[in-house]
Amino acid sequence: MKLTLAQRMDRLPKQFFAHLVQRVNERIAQGRDVINLGQGNPDLPTPPHIVEALRTAALDPRTHRYPPFTGLPALKEAAAAFYAREYGVELDPEREVAVLFGGKTGLVEISEIYLNPGDVALVPDPGYPDYWSGVALAGGTLATYPLTAAHQFLPDFAGISESVWERAKLLFLNYPNNPTGAGAGPTTFAAAVAWAERYNVLVVHDFAYGAIGYDGVKPPSFLQTPGAKQVGIEIYTLSKTYNMAGWRLAVAVGHPDVIRAINLFQDHYYVSVFAAVQLAGAAALRGPQDCVQQLVATYQARRDAFLGELAAHGWQVPAPQGSFFVWLPVPEGWTSMGLADHLLTTADVMVAPGVGFGQHGEGYVRVGLLADVPRLREAARRMAQALR
């Protein structure tokens, strides 16, 4: 029997990094000491009080049944309390908070919810590749806007043609930014609101790295911007803030009509996240936040150690403002793929080629600060020596 895949499967972008991960695993199997800085998988454990909340909830037979389709009120109320405490943003837990199976799910399904074939989604270049996946599944059209060093890796909305704006239905933003590590402030978000209002475009702000800002700067929420809730939503994952990547838990917050649509869509896919995980998420959002402060301090120490070691070898790299990534310009004469391949084969250091995040990612590689300080210093030494 020969089965033919639906056309939507053929539209999916290739998993650019799958081959890179395979190469890393092959070298490790050969006994090589590979330092893998090419992925965005948090390496630290979930704080103990969150794990304990999961254990307690999992032992309660009441969590073993199907939870409410739209999620537990306890988690949605905790998310609203979190936003009020951290950002001064008031949310209605029932109307303005949706529970997601991780941020990636929300970022993919929002395109399926709003895009018809031919509708345009405005996506950053470079940007998180899974934005592309949702657009492809929906049969939408991808229109990228460049993020360049000349513009501090911030969007130039005026540079997007009027014809594209008129066809656009979604605008994806992401700050602190993956892969560039750039931060955005009120001016950028206010501009996004203004352009969205002008052309009736839904803004989707991916706030995955919302907790991770450096040098004492707290990244702002898009929803702090006047008018933001009327034109968009924000997706906040617990994966990065609380090292809960494997737990698959996030929330979408903002425009109540969008939240209602997300809940309707998910009614046909899921019966919500395991209740014990939701209760642990509520404990994370409401509980002590010193673990988050310690996490940010850890990443800043890693950032400074890695960049300091590179600088000691004559390689000056701009410091990221947020996220746990360094966006490293490649030396003259190299491509991003060429440098990544050279560092893996010569220095046993894996970095992510910038071109994997879009054509404007060429000329850079992304380094994840997801190893301890001694290991990051060693990686920096190996990288510098490989280019001598």
Q: May I ask the CATH architecture of the domain 7-45+290-386?
A: Alpha-Beta Complex (3.90)
pLDDT in tens, the chain (388 residues): 989 999 999 898 887 777 778 888 999 999 999 999 998 899 999 999 999 999 999 999 999 999 999 999 999 999 999 999 999 999 999 999 999 999 999 999 999 999 999 999 999 999 999 999 999 999 999 999 999 999 999 999 999 999 999 999 999 999 999 999 999 999 999 999 999 999 999 999 999 999 999 999 999 999 999 999 999 999 999 999 999 999 999 999 999 999 999 999 999 999 899 999 999 999 999 999 999 999 999 999 999 999 999 999 999 999 999 999 999 999 999 999 999 999 999 999 999 999 999 999 999 999 999 999 999 999 999 999 999 8
Give the number of C-alpha atoms closer than 13 A to the C-alpha of residue 274, restricted to the C-beta side: 14
Q: What is residue 237's predicted lDDT score, i.e. its pLDDT?
A: 98
Which pLDDT belongs to residue 18?
79
- The pTM of this model reads 0.97
The residue ranges of every structural domain in the chain are: 7-45+290-386, 48-286
Residue whose entry in the numeric block shows the structure tokens 């706030």:
207
Give the closest residue to 134 by CA, choosing from 175, 99, 103: 103
Query: Does 7-45+290-386 match 48-286 in CATH topology?
Result: no
Give residue 39's pLDDT.
Answer: 87
Calpha distance 189→221 (Å, rounded): 9
Residue found under tokens 């890796």: 153
Report, at the CATH architecture level, how domain 48-286 is classified: 3-Layer(aba) Sandwich (3.40)
3-state secondary structure the chain: CCCCCCHHHHHCCCCCCHHHHHHHHHHHHCCCCCEECCCCCCCCCCCHHHHHHHHHHHCCHHHHCCCCCCCCHHHHHHHHHHHHHHHCCCCCCCCCEEEECCHHHHHHHHHHHHCCCCCEEEEEECCCCHHHHHHHHHCCEEEEEECCHHHCCCCCHHHCCHHHHHHEEEEEECCCCCCCCCCCCHHHHHHHHHHHHHHCCEEEEECCCCCCECCCCCCCCHHHCCCHHHHEEEEEEHHHHCCCHHHCCEEEEECHHHHHHHHHHHHCCCCCCCHHHHHHHHHHHHCCCHHHHHHHHHHHHHHHHHHHHHHHCCCCCCCCCECCEEEEECCCCCCHHHHHHHHHHHHCEECEEHHHHCHHHCCEEEEECCCCHHHHHHHHHHHHHHCC
Residue with tokens 């410091």: 319
